[in-house]
């Protein structure tokens, strides 16, 4: 068995910035991986597995993550 810890962790810095990461890479499926407090006047940043995305691209990537397995997909026809 591997000793790796596959949990998403969230840290909050003293300045109020919230950082979400998974496997030591910035990552969040639930929202922005970097959230800034309103006082800093910066936009939140979206990351998936360490790659930065725009909000629109992040929403599109998030939409594609839930799929139907082939045995339940009516478009896939098995030949036996």
pLDDT per residue as tens digits for the range 19-73 = 999 988 999 988 999 999 999 899 999 999 999 999 999 988 887 665 666 666 6
pLDDT score at 66 = 59
Beta strands in the chain (DSSP E): 8-12, 18-22, 25-26, 34-35, 46-48, 51-53
pLDDT score at 68 = 61
Q: How many Å apart are CA 60 and CA 21, to the nearest integer?
A: 20
- What residue has token string 């790796």? 4
pLDDT score at 1 = 44
pLDDT score at 44 = 93
């Amino acid at each position: 068995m591997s000793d790796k810890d596959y949990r998403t962790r969230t840290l909050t810095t003293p300045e109020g910035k919230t950082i979400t990461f998974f496997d030591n890479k910035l990552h969040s499926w639930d929202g922005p991986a970097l959230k800034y407090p309103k006082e800093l006047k910066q936009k939140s940043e979206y990351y998936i597995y360490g790659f930065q995305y725009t909000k629109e691209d992040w929403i599109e990537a998030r939409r594609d993550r839930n799929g139907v397995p082939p045995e339940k997909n009516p478009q896939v026809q098995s030949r036996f």
